């Protein structure tokens, strides 16, 4: 089988398995690089070749997350595409434990207040107030929001899972204004050319607002979701409810936020007088 045919077969298989477009793109990128490295593609994996490939990435300064993504794609290829009975017995690289960047309530207020465009202001406000990923925000449709129940039905989120999250009551009026005279199947945040905003456009809106508000933190659009989770925990919401609202499969993922919102820690004063 020619390389182009093999790549197309992998792409079709990933799509049939309902992998997200981003995962499909990432796996194909990783596997193209891997195939270029090994040159001769066989049905059975060669552990030493794979290790050399991953070590080369490490020597090239690639992060643990990137190396793990490549290993994941390689494992998928031999297991699901080549149907190899030989497992790729290589452990994933240890990843650095980083705390999420969380914005304070005052910083968020400054960011939101710096936005003049009503649609952009609602995009950032709702993404924080409901804990949305950027992909979830841009794919949100008018029919997904229940203003009576103050809930949002997030469809086909990460891992192709649906979930319900909360809708901030203070945004009811803003949403009604933007959704007026529009069809329930329309995207809430449609672009000027029709259709939905791109992820990059949404991220750029946040970046511009952060810069205009003169926020120095290394925050991204995803920091809105980090801040949502952290502030809920600070408000005394049970961590299992926060886990459900975020759509985390494992509570250990949610527990990361307890490291940045420990009230007892904040009450400790430095010994420097």
Among the listed residues 133, 210, 226, 231, the single catalytic one is 133
Structure tokens at 190: 């449609």
Among the listed residues 76, 78, 128, 257, the single catalytic one is 257
User: At 41, is the secondary structure helix, strand, or coil?
Assistant: coil
User: At 69, is the secondary structure helix, strand, or coil?
Assistant: helix
Annotation marks residue 2 as catalytic: no
Whether the CB-CB separation of 125 and 112 falls below 8 Å is answered with yes
Annotation marks residue 240 as catalytic: no
Annotation marks residue 225 as catalytic: yes
Annotation marks residue 222 as catalytic: yes
Residues 6+ apart with CB under 8 A from 167: 126, 129, 130, 145, 146, 147, 150, 151, 152
Annotation marks residue 257 as catalytic: yes
Among the listed residues 62, 141, 153, 158, the single catalytic one is 158
Whether the CB-CB separation of 254 and 229 falls below 8 Å is answered with yes
The edge-to-edge listing of strands for the beta sheet with 145-146 is 145-146, 151-154, 163-166
Among the listed residues 110, 119, 172, 248, the single catalytic one is 248
Among the listed residues 141, 153, 172, 222, the single catalytic one is 222
Active-site residue numbers? Answer: 133, 158, 222, 225, 248, 257
């Amino acid at each position: 089988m020619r390389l182009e045919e093999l790549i197309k077969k992998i792409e079709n298989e990933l799509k049939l398995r309902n992998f997200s477009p981003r995962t499909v793109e990432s796996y194909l990128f990783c596997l193209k690089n891997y195939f270029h490295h090994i040159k001769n593609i066989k049905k059975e994996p060669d552990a030493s070749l794979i290790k050399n490939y991953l070590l080369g990435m490490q020597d090239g300064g690639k992060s643990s997350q990137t190396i793990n993504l490549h290993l994941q794609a390689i494992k998928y290829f031999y297991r699901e595409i080549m149907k190899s009975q030989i497992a790729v017995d290589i452990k994933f690289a240890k990843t650095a434990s980083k705390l999420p960047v969380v914005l304070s309530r005052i910083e968020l207020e400054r960011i939101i207040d710096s936005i003049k465009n009503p649609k952009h202001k609602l995009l950032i406000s709702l993404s924080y107030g409901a804990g949305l990923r950027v992909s979830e925000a841009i794919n949100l449709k008018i029919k997904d929001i229940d203003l009576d129940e103050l809930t949002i039905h997030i469809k086909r989120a990460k891992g192709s899972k649906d979930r319900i999250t909360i809708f901030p009551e203070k945004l009811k009026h803003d949403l009604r204004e933007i959704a007026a005279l529009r069809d329930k199947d329309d995207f809430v945040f449609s672009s000027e050319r029709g259709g939905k905003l791109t992820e990059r456009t949404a991220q750029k809106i946040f970046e511009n607002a952060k810069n205009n508000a003169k926020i120095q933190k290394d925050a991204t659009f995803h920091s809105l979701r980090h801040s949502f989770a952290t502030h809920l925990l600070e408000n005394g919401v049970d961590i299992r409810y926060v886990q459900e609202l975020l759509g985390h499969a494992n509570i250990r993922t949610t527990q990361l936020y307890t490291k940045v919102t420990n009230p007892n820690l904040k009450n400790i004063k430095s010994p420097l007088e």
